[in-house]
Every structure is written in structure tokens, then in C-alpha cells.
Amino acid sequence: MTHSSYLADIHQTLPRILGLFDTNPISAMRGVGDRYRWAWKGSDFANGTFQGAVHGLALLVVNGMLPEGMNEASILHRIHDALDGIRRITRNNGSLDEILPMESSYCVTALVAFDALCALDILAGRISDAERIRHHATVAPLIGFLVRARETHGIITNHLAVAAAALTRWHKMTGEDVIAARDDVLRVITRHYNAEGWFCEYEGADPGYQTLALDYLADMDAQAPELGLASSLFKTCEFLGYCAHPDGSFGGLYGSRNTRFLYPAGIGMLARQSPHAAALASFAGKAHQDKTVVGLAAMDDSNLVPMFNSFCRAAALAQQQAVPAPLPYEGNDFYKEFPEAGLIVVKQAETYSIVNWRKSVLSHFSPGRAILDGGACARNPKNTWYTSQMGRDVTRLIHADAQQVVIEAPMIRYHVSYPAPVQMVVLRILCLSVMRIAPLNAWVKKILVRLLISRRAVSGHVIRRTITLHPEVAIRDEWISNPGRLTLERPFQYFQATHMASQGYWQRGDDA
């Protein structure tokens, strides 16, 4: 994908980005990007995520990438307004909210701090000292929050990485000593880095979120090469190469968070030195052009700004890159296991298969055909659903080779909560009371993660899955134990059994 091709998507999305922000000069919300707050008046707080768009807008201004007829001075004025808007929605403790009032979102606070600092760095030659000082003062409380706070409800590398990258940039830009806090976050990231080449996202490896984490980790490596991150990042690009598919899609159900998006900026930065990153960057470019992966056009509001910024950064990158290595699906036949991630990858003849035995799911690609199987699925007479997709820690791998994978998996009751009005009232009361106290805030978030993500009701029903990959793909499910007389549904069905807001975005193959 050439830079102009990235620009086509950027320019198509730019009216949506610009329309997010309140430009009314007499409004108390001037410069705030959450339309649901300032325009629709449908929320009692502002989602801070949108303020991060200053990063991508600054890149467009400085690199001459604005659409024809759009005035640079006008966009620069909008950037200043949006930076000032951060101050208007920052809580007294220096944090920003995302989906709840008084949430003190570690991720969004870090994201906006990082993007604001990147914008100020990019615009260094175009803003006055007074403007720079004013905007530094706006970002300072966010950095203070990141120094004091920690995210404790899960190991989510892309959240931790943007915090570490923001602290790295703040230190380099201001000289303030926040290195101890940065290194504390970085230790959590590296402690949960797996030698197979992946960083942890909740309970395992998730290709989509790995690419977002690379946006921030690659930036940190460029700002502070003395940290020695490069070798791990190159290894991650090698791992991610196995998640690029012959039909141009990427990731999916075999990831820990089921995501299929592909953020291009970090990969593009690493492509200058890594043949594996160069191969993935070329794949990403074509896949985004063909819309075979989840990209900018598919994003909802909550994930729009990080993808917009990634596209802008990718478009601004110089073209130099290492000689690409072949992607795994392009090379010779092989059989490859990633035991900790639970992945088995097989290429033979014209087929390419990825099994996550810990989730008992299959992604299989042959010419003109993709089979995406979400695991065994069954229901009882009361229409309660059970699935093997959520059995990461209780599933057993019985046999695996290039022809066949055999798994024994307990069936787990499918349960996804949708908040009722009474629950929302209770949650609002908690937000406005106990969640103002940091330890109680962290406790409530852990409870929410358990209710939405990690809670698993393991049943006494156990299935044996035999996944045949060669010579013809086939799946056979047999009961080992079925005390409740569950009825199996047919195989080769794509379904998602866990809560994850960032799953399910559209890509081209969905309606082929």
C-alpha cells in the first residue's frame, strides 16, 4: 500500500474526525471531541479518547498530507483547540474517562498524553513558546496520574505500552524524571512477554492488539533505543507473520481477544530494520487497500482515533525498508507449534491452517475458501448455550501433527451480560462515590472484568474434537461426558463466546 493509498482512507475519514470536535467559540466544551457529550447531550461525562486525534492531524499538517483546498492554519487552530479541550475534561486526579464517569481510565489517560506529546513534538517548529508551555501544562496532570496509578484489572500490553511510551516522551521533552515510573510499567510488559514472540493481552496472544502495542513499543524504541526493545519487537513481527492469511485477512478467533484489525504504524517503523516487519508492512498495505482486514473505514467511534493516528503515521513514514522475508503462507510446507499461545500452524500444498487448541478453534484457508470454526457448540433443552471456545486453561491437547489435531475440552456455559437499567443506576452510583477512591476504583474494575471476561462456568460436559487438516479438512465432535444431554450444533460455524468490545468489526471476507 503506497502512502497515497493510506491517504485515501485518511481523507475519506477526515470529515468524521473534524466533525467530532466542538468549534463553538462561546461553548464551555470548545475543543472537546465527544459529540455524544457536547452535541447530543446524551452523556454526563466526556470520553477523552477523541482528543488524541491531534497526533494524526499534526502529521497531516507538517507532512503536507491535507486534502487539496484544506487550510493548514485552520487545522493548526483546531489542534490548539483540541489540546486546550483536554484540560476541560481532565479530572482533579489528572485522569480522563472513557466509558464511565469518574472512571479514571489508565488507558485513555495514557493514550491522550502520548498523542498530545507526539503532536507537540511534530509541531515544534510551528508553535510559539507560550503555546508550548500552555500545552505542557495541560498534559502535566495526565503524566502525574500515570506516575501514581497502575492498571491492575488485567495484563493488557497495549495499555501499558502507551503509558510507557508517554512517560518516555515526557522525560525526553521536559527533562522531568519519570523514568522510575516508566521502568515499573516496562517491567510488567517484559515480565509477561513470551519468548514465542508475543506480548500478553489478558490471557494470551492476540494478533490484532499486538499490532497496536507495536505502535507504542516501536515509538519507545525509537525514543529510547538504550532500553533494548528492538530484538523482542522483531521477534513479535516474526510471530505475527504466521497470523497473516493467504486471503489477505489477519488474526481472528484464535487470538486471546478475537480481534482482526491491523495497525500499520509500528510495523512500518520496524520494517526499516526487520525483514519480518517489512513483509508484514507490505501485507498490511495491500490488505488495507483491499479491505480484507479491519481498518480505518470499519472503526466505530471508540477505536477510531488510534487507528486514524496509526494510518497517518504509516502514511508519513519514509519508504525505506529491509528486504522482506517471505510470509509463512508464502513459503514451503511446514508444521509449527506455539505451545504457550496454544497455536498450531500448518502449511501444506495449497492450504494454510491455524488451530488454537486451547480455544479449540480453527482457521483454515484454501484457494477460494475459508473455514472459520469457533469450537464445539451445544445447548440444553432450556436453550442455554455451552462452548469449548473459552476453555483456555482446562483444555487438553491429546495429539497434534500436520494431518490431525485431537483435543479434549470441557464445555463452558456461554454467558454475556448486558446491563439492565437497575444495574446501570448502581454502576453510576458507584462511579460517583466509591470509584473516586483509587483502591476501590481498581476493585470495581476487577469485578467488572470478572463478570464480563474471566468468569467461566466449567460444566461436566466434555467433548473430544478431532480436527483433520489433510488431505481434506474435517471436524468431528464426540462426547466423552454429556450428563445434561446437550445437543451439538453443526461444525464450521463462526461465533464469539467472550465479551470483547473490539471484536466483530467488518472486513471484506465477511460477506463474500
* Per-residue pLDDT, 427: 78
Stretch 126-150: mean pLDDT, rounded? 97
Looking at per-residue pLDDT, the higher value among 113 and 3 belongs to: 113
Q: Are 57 and 78 in contact (CB under 8 A)?
A: yes
Burial grade of 471 (CB within 10 A; 0-12, 13-18, 19 or more) = exposed
% of the chain surpassing 90 pLDDT: 78
Question: Quick one: pLDDT at residue 496?
Answer: 81
**CA separation, residue 192 to residues 196, 202, 212, 213, 250 (Å):** 11, 10, 17, 13, 23
d(CA 218, CA 90): 28
pTM of the model: 0.94
Q: What is the mean pLDDT of the chain?
A: 92
Q: Which segment of 318-327, 414-423, 442-451 scores lowest on mean pLDDT?
A: 442-451
**pLDDT at residue 487 is higher than 60:** yes
Whole-number Cα distances in Å, 80 to 17, 56, 336: 15, 13, 50
Radius of gyration of the chain (CA): 23
Local confidence band at 314 (pLDDT 50, 70, 90 cut-offs): very high
**Mean per-residue pLDDT, 32-46:** 95
| Rounded distance between C-alpha atoms, residue 30 and residue 81, angstroms | 7
Band of residue 503 on the pLDDT scale cut at 50, 70, 90: confident
What is the side-by-side strand order in the sheet with 204-205?
Answer: 193-194, 198-201, 204-205
The CA distance from 367 to 376, in Å, is: 25
Round to whole Å and give the CA distance between 195 and 24: 51
pLDDT at 444 over 80: no
Burial of 394 per CB tally in 10 Å (0-12, 13-18, 19+): middle
Which stretches within 192-274 are classed as H helix? 207-223, 230-241, 265-270
pLDDT, residue 1, reads: 41
* Model pLDDT, residue 425: 83
Across 226-235, 414-423, 467-476, least confident range: 414-423
Give me the residue label for grid cell 493467504. 246
pLDDT at position 203, please?
Answer: 81
- Running DSSP on this structure, what letter comes out for residue 371? E
CA distance from start to end of the chain: 22
Phi-psi region of 304 (alpha: psi -120 to 50; beta: other; left: phi over 0): alpha
Residue 65 has pLDDT above 90, yes or no: yes
Whole-angstrom Cα distance, residue 463 to residue 478? 6
CA proximity to 224, closest of 184, 172, 267: 172
- Decide if 205 contacts 356 (C-beta within 8 A): no
> Is 60 exceeded by the pLDDT of residue 129?
yes
3-class secondary structure, 340: coil
Burial class (CB in 10 A: 0-12, 13-18, 19+), 422: exposed
As a whole number, mean pLDDT of residues 322-327 equals 93
User: Strand pairing of 396-400 and 385-387?
Assistant: unpaired
H helical segments located in 250-401: 265-270, 275-290, 301-316
Q: Which DSSP category does 307 fall into?
A: H
When pLDDT is averaged across residues 99-104 and rounded to a whole number, the result is: 88
Question: Is 383 buried (19+), middle (13-18) or exposed (0-12) by CB count in 10 A?
Answer: exposed
**pLDDT (mean) for 451-460:** 68
Query: With bands split at pLDDT 50, 70 and 90, how would you rate the model's confidence at 28?
Result: very high
Mean pLDDT score, 103-127: 96
Instruction: Tell which wins on pLDDT, 484 or 479.
Output: 479
**Predicted confidence band of residue 2 (pLDDT cuts 50, 70, 90):** very low
- Distance from C-alpha of 123 to C-alpha of 138, rounded to nearest angstrom: 16
Positive or negative: CA dihedral 453, 455, 457, 463:
positive
Rounded to 10 deg, the angle between the 207-223 and 106-122 helix axes is 50
What is the mean pLDDT of the segment spanning 276-288?
Answer: 96
Q: Please tell me the predicted confidence (pLDDT) of residue 454.
A: 59
Average pLDDT rounded to a whole number, residues 326-349: 97
Give the CA count within 13 Å in the CB-facing half-sphere of 55.
28
> What confidence tens digit (pLDDT) does each residue in 371-392 have?
999 999 999 988 889 999 988 8
Q: Which domains does the chain have, with CATH numbers?
A: 3-316 (1.50.10.10)
Higher pLDDT, 417 or 101: 101
d(CA 36, CA 217): 32
Kindly report each contact of residues 455-460 with a partner whose C-beta sits within 8 Å and lies 24 or more positions away, as own/partner. Answer: 455/415, 456/390, 456/391, 456/412, 457/412, 457/413, 457/415, 458/391, 458/394, 458/410, 458/412, 459/386, 459/410, 459/411, 459/412, 459/413, 459/484, 460/410, 460/484
Say if residue 490 is exposed, middle or buried (CB neighbours under 10 Å; 0-12, 13-18, 19+): exposed
Which residues fall within 8 angstroms of residue 316, CB to CB, at 6 or more apart?
3, 59, 63, 65
Helix/strand/coil for 465: strand
Count Cβ atoms within 10 A of the Cβ of residue 402 and give its class: 0-12 exposed, 13-18 middle, 19 or more buried: middle
- What confidence score (pLDDT) does residue 505 get? 84
Strand partners, 197: none
420, pLDDT greater than 70: yes
d(CA 111, CA 139) in angstroms, rounded, equals: 11
267 pLDDT more than 80 = yes
